[in-house]
Amino acid sequence: MMHGTHGAGPWGRGLAWVTALYLVLPILIVLPVALTDQRFLSLPKEALSLQHFRTVLTSPEWLGSIWQSFLIALAATVLSVVAGTLCAIGCWRISRRSTDVIRLLMLLPLIIPSIVYAIGLYRYFGPLGLLDRFLGVVIAHGVTGIPYVVITVSTALAAFDPRLEQAARGMGASLSQTLRWVILPRIMPGIVSGAIFAFIHSWDELVLVLFIASRDVFTLPRRIWDGINENLDPAMAAVAVLLIAFTLVLLLADRALRRRAEN
Amino acid sequence: MRLAGWWLLILPALLLVLVFYVAPILQVLAISVTEPEPGLANYERLLTSEGVQRVILTTLRICLITTFFALLLGYAIAYAITLASPRARAWWMMAVLVPLWISVLVRAFAWVTLLRRQGLVNNTLMQAGVITEPLPLVWNEFGILVGMVHYMVPFAVLPMLAAMREIDPRLLAAARGLGATRAQVFRQVFLPLSMPGVIAAGVLVFIFSLGFYITPAILGGGKTLMVAEWISLQILDLIRWGLGTMMATMLVLTIIVTLLVFSRIVDLRRMFGTGGA
């Protein structure tokens, strides 16, 4: 244990506290703003009010975008999880120089800025008729979600004893049987983690949809973006609070799953 | 021969990434040397156009300042986490990981709420009588920096934390036992041992900052242009594909060169392994 033997000095402690507050407080500020009784962005004056939540939750535009974002994220997550999991398993089992290169290739979407991919897709999707289409956004989000799944599943596989797989194969199990009965159950927590991160990735993604979607596909981040640039009203704060709550629920789910996997 | 089946598992992801990721990006590189006419005319602008140079310098300046502050603040947090008791450590980790996963739009919106002219910070300061005129806190370079550093601190913490955890606590105890002051232990033992993590974090934050779009676009208010927003302007508003793709290519090249240079010092796979989970 490192604590006890050596404490941080007052300067270090102070800076750490200031940083923690800097990270967390600005995010928390949207809660009182969302509950304001005023018609403009401000702290509540006389009473707390849920009117701005009502505005959002009864607006067909906001609800439509939330629903669309949800469906896109769901479909994109399925794509990322299936492709990413199988790829991570294949790379783990073969484990050669060539699969190291493939794994690196899968991580590219984390390294290359999305603006570069966005202008690329804008041009690439045109002739394919995928601009402003549900399928187009699902493909874009699905492909860029693969790295999250590859990372979490590879981490889970690193803790998996490869002799189990060899034993199963040695006793005559086919590849698909080995996958279904031996490998997948063991790495399920990693897959679920990857799925959660891939889902959040698609749900929050803005840069790509700014380029490859315009009218028919109008996701939640896109509507928030327009809101920030056009009319800053407390309804935006209400949306922000709902989003934060949703992200927290997903993260807590992930944590609970990891705990269960550890025990 | 028995491996053939396993190669089939890799195929779907490989095809998806090649057809729908690598191909569009290669097309971007190709457009930069073929439009409006074949040749390196777009790249000539790097040397001749003042506008292009200004955007690049602004981006580099903002990214370097962001990296510096993200490292400084991130180091303080990582240090506190390393030395904290297990119970306190969980709380510190929450403070790092929750912002990491909250939508970048929500965070930019929160900063606008706080920093704009009639925002909470200016209003509070005016009511308290500290200032008489609202301070220009957002829609300028300051606003961009506040938002970018806020976004990047968690990315700085994770690699540094990984490095600090590997430091043997007995070394610190030994230095103390030999009569070193707390400041000496930190400067002469802890800090040098944590340097690999600091470098990894610096590279990560710097390359993430380079191509950042949303936060600078919202908090910069269109006045301070960084590379990503400039590219978007060229493509969507000015329809200058050649220039836009040239800058996009330069962006990718800068990132790849930075990674290659530092890959001798930094284990990239580990860096991204900690970044995702």
**pLDDT per position in chain B (277 positions), as tens?**
467 888 999 999 999 999 999 999 999 999 999 988 898 999 999 999 999 999 999 999 999 999 999 999 999 999 999 988 888 998 999 899 989 889 999 999 999 999 988 888 998 899 898 888 899 999 899 999 999 999 999 999 999 999 998 898 889 889 988 988 888 888 899 999 999 899 999 999 999 999 999 999 999 988 889 999 999 999 999 999 999 999 999 999 999 999 999 887 766 655 554 333 3
User: Which pLDDT value is given to residue A144?
Assistant: 97
Query: What pLDDT score was predicted for residue A1?
Result: 40
Which of A32-41, A71-80, B27-36, B85-94: highest mean pLDDT?
Answer: A71-80
Cβ neighbours of residue A19 under 8 Å, at least 6 residues apart? Answer: B73, B74, B76, B77, B153
Retrieve residue B215's tokens.
């936060």
Cα gap B122→B127, rounded to integer Å: 9
Cα Rg of chain B, angstroms: 23
Tokens coding B78:
């990582």
For chains A and B, CB pairs below 8 A equal 275
User: Which sequence spans correspond to the domains of chain A?
Assistant: 60-262
A167, two tokens = 């034993």
Residue B271 pLDDT: 57
Look at A237 and B103 and tell me if their CB atoms are within 8 Å: no
pLDDT confidence of residue B182: 85
pLDDT band at A96 (very low <50, low <70, confident <90, very high): confident
Chain A contact for B76, CB < 8 A? yes
CATH superfamily of B45-102+144-276: MetI-like (1.10.3720.10)
CA distances from B58 to A3, A182, B112, B220, B251 (A): 42, 54, 21, 12, 14
Q: Testing the interface with A: which of B27, B97, B113 to mutate, by most A Cβ within 10 A? A: B113
Place A241 in a pLDDT band, splitting at 50, 70 and 90: very high
Q: How is chain B split into domains, by residue range?
A: 45-102+144-276
pLDDT at A16: 93
Contact (CB, 8 A) for B32 and B235: no
B272 to A110: CB separation less than 8 angstroms, yes or no: yes
pLDDT band for position A89 (cuts 50, 70, 90)? very high
Interchain contact A253–B (C-beta under 8 A): no
What's the ipTM? 0.91
- Chain A CB contacts of B95 under 8 Å are 20, 23-24
The whole-number pLDDT of residue A251 equals 85
| Three-state DSSP class for residue B127 | helix
* pLDDT tier at A3, thresholds 50, 70, 90: very low
Three-state SS for B172?
helix
Q: Which has the closest alpha carbon to B207: B68, B67, B108?
A: B67
Total residue length of chain B:
277
Q: What is the pLDDT of residue B160?
A: 94
Which tens digits make up the pLDDT trace of A183-192?
999 899 899 9
**pLDDT above 90 (res A208):** yes
Q: How far apart are CA B88 and CA B94, in angstroms?
A: 10
Q: How far is A6 from chain B (nearest CA, A)?
A: 7
Report yes or no: A146 at the B interface, CB cutoff 8 Å. Answer: yes
Q: Do B273 and A111 touch (CB under 8 A)?
A: no
Distance CA A187, CA A185 (A): 6
Predicted confidence at residue A71, as pLDDT, reads 97
**Cβ separation of A111 and B207 shorter than 8 Å?**
yes
How far A27 CA sits from the closest chain B CA (Å)? 6
- Phi, psi (deg, nearest 5) at residue B185: -60, -45
Is the preceding peptide bond at A113 cis, omega within 30 degrees of 0? no
Across A57-61, A97-101, A174-178, B19-23, which has the greatest mean pLDDT? B19-23
> Per-residue pLDDT averaged across A196-207, rounded?
94
State the pLDDT at residue B268: 60
Q: CA-to-CA distance for B244 and B233, rounded, in angstroms?
A: 8
What integer pLDDT is reported at residue A12 of this predicted model?
84
Please give the CATH number for the structural domain made up of A60-262. Answer: 1.10.3720.10
Question: Which residue among B13, B183, B236 places its CB closest to the CB of A86?
Answer: B13
For residue B268, give the chain A residue with the closest CA: A104
Rounded to an integer, what distance in angstroms lies between the CA atom of residue A191 and that of residue A208? 25
% residues pLDDT > 90 (chain A): 60
Chain segment A106-145, per-residue pLDDT in tens:
999 999 999 999 999 999 999 999 999 999 999 999 999 9
Residue A133 contacts by C-beta under 8 Å, 6 or more apart in sequence? A216, A217
The DSSP-derived string for A204-222 is H--HHHHHH-SSS---HHH
Q: Tell me whether residues B251 and A116 touch, CB distance under 8 A.
A: yes
Contact between chains at B22 and A108 (C-beta distance less than 8 A)? yes
Question: What's the pLDDT score for residue A7?
Answer: 62
pLDDT for position A2: 47
| Averaged pLDDT, A60-76 | 95
DSSP letters spanning B64-102: HHHHHHHHHHHHHHHHHHHHS-HHHHHHHHHHHHHHHHS
B211 contacts on A by Cβ (under 8 Å): 112-116
Tokens coding A26: 């600005």
What's the DSSP call for residue B237? Answer: I
Quick one: what percent of chain A has pLDDT higher than 70? Answer: 97
